[in-house]
Amino acid sequence: MPYRHLGYVIFIKCFDLFFSGKVFDVLVITFQAIFGLLATFVFYTKISKLITFNLITKIGLFAFLLFPFLPPLEVANNICSEGLSYPLYLLFVAFGIDFFFTNTKSFKYFIVVFLLLALTRGQFIIAIVPIAFMYILKHKKTLFKKPHLNRFIVLLLLPVVVLLADKSYHKLKDGIFMSTPFSFVNISTAAFYVSEKSDSNQLTGNDKKVFDICYNKLDKQKLLLTNQKEGSYKDYYSFFHNHIPNICNRTVHYYGRAFFLEDELSNSTHLEIAQAHLSIENTLRNISFSLINQNFNKWLNLFFANLIHAFNGIVILIIIVTVFSLSLIKLFTSNNNNYYLLFMLSALILSNTLLVCLASHSIIRYLFYNYALYFLIFIILFKQIKHGIKH
């Protein structure tokens, strides 16, 4: 299917060339487990250069790092992209910290790991933004001198390389030069949920037809906010959270894609299916912008309810936003590594969480990557409170 990113597909195909059956499953899982443990060790090695851990904090950090390998996630034990993307994310953070704070030679490893990560899980293409911003502030006086300028240009070009590689992959595989479709399929879910029948009046052509089809199906199944009993947005989000598959996959995407297929899915060619995925992606982009604009207050309230759920409550959200804001302010007046590290960790948490809440519901599968980063932030804050920071 054209909505798969190329990283994990190629990874699986490499094993599939030589192995099959139970041997294939065992080898993939074994590789993922070993790779994950190796990435965990590298992460600890790099971060321990900046933070001193005692026995308790060391155990705590490893508990957070190893949590995704245990139930309920068990990322290494399943044939899914998280088995590869989680170790890659740990290496991305580890080499990012290493090249930024201690060893510029790690930059080349950072580049490779970021490309592999973003091509495996597209949600992390935005993770390069806080790193590039930090690099500007860290080297603002010498940014236009080599080698700082060269590295900065590379940081800016990395997302472009990812997008071109992704589009080229789909051109070779599906016959269409396109990004992996499904982004606006996801984003449209919340927009449909808060929509009203009259929103159709602001749409035209296929956009209007697809909206009417999907809206009527959702209304019939009582999957719209207007179908719910009057309550708080916490209640409205709870229903939305529990019914995402029915709203998105089984209704909006299913009937939207069917609209662009002349024949049944089983009778369509690979190119026709890929074109239908691209068409519904583009159509839902137009519909999403229109619906969000017409129902902005409802959509925004639902988004914030989603965000609070992602942080397991308003308190942790406020703490992370405060850490991000204060460390950002400090970066303009101080070169203390603790401020840079706090900004980096909080920015990575916020960027991923905001993207997840914009595109989908805040489930552990999309958010677990940063659990260890929360722990590191609280360790740094504790040390600051206890010992203070030299400016």
DSSP letters along 269-338, please?
Answer: -HHHHHHHHHHHHHHHHHHHHHHHHHTHHHHHHHHHHHHHHHTTSHHHHHHHHHHHHHHHHHHTT---HH
Per-residue model confidence (pLDDT) at position 265: 60
Q: What confidence category does residue 279 fall into, taking pLDDT thresholds of 50, 70 and 90?
A: very high
Per-residue model confidence (pLDDT) at position 351: 97
Residue with the larger pLDDT of the pair 347 and 22: 347
Q: 356: which DSSP letter?
A: H
State the pTM of this model: 0.95
pLDDT > 80? residue 262: no
Task: Kindly report, residue by residue over 33-77, the tens digit of the pLDDT.
Answer: 999 999 999 999 999 999 999 999 999 999 999 999 999 999 999
Token representation of residue 390: 């030299």
| CA-based end-to-end distance of the chain | 53
Q: What confidence category does residue 267 fall into, taking pLDDT thresholds of 50, 70 and 90?
A: low
Residue 323 contacts residue 377 (beta carbons within 8 Å): yes
Q: Which of 351, 341, 367, 374 is nearest to 101 (CA)?
A: 341
Q: What confidence category does residue 342 fall into, taking pLDDT thresholds of 50, 70 and 90?
A: very high
Residue 309 contacts residue 237 (beta carbons within 8 Å): yes
- What average pLDDT does the segment 252-273 reach? 81
DSSP per-residue codes, 205-257: HHHHHHHHHHHHHHHHTT-SGGGSPS--HHHHHHHHHHTHHHHIIIIIIHHHH
Task: Kindly report, residue by residue over 190-219, the tens digit of the pLDDT.
Answer: 999 999 999 999 999 999 999 999 999 999
Place of tokens 């019939």: 220
- What average pLDDT does the segment 96-104 reach? 93
- What average pLDDT does the segment 87-108 reach? 95
Q: What confidence category does residue 391 fall into, taking pLDDT thresholds of 50, 70 and 90?
A: very low
pLDDT > 50? residue 230: yes
Give the C-alpha separation, 381 to 388, whole Å: 9
